[in-house]
Amino acid sequence: MAEIRGNDILRVARKLGYQVRPPKRRKHYVILDGPRIVTTVPKGKLKKGTLAAIIKDLGITREEFNRLV
């Protein structure tokens, strides 16, 4: 799999209908489902485990994620 960055995750989250809140003095974006925080996403490159956890938090499979990227 190609290198995945935080911006790739944010693009997928928006496609899935989630709201994205930019960071406030921090290094992480926040993905929201209404008032509920779904997950946070770092700005830079993502490690494999971090990527897997975020995909799980979004409620999709790796295959669905790859199609949306």
Level-2 CATH architecture, domain 6-68: 2-Layer Sandwich (3.30)
**What are the residue boundaries of the structural domains of the chain, listed by start?**
6-68
Q: CA torsion angle for 11, 7, 32, 12 (degrees, to 10)?
A: 30
pTM of the predicted model as reported, rounded to 2 decimal places: 0.88
Q: 39 - beta bridge partners?
A: 31
Q: Which of 12, 7, 4, 3 is nearest to 43 (CA)?
A: 7
**Residue-wise pLDDT tens digits, 30-69:** 999 999 999 999 988 999 999 999 999 999 999 999 999 9
Q: Which of 1, 11, 23 is nearest to 58 (CA)?
A: 11
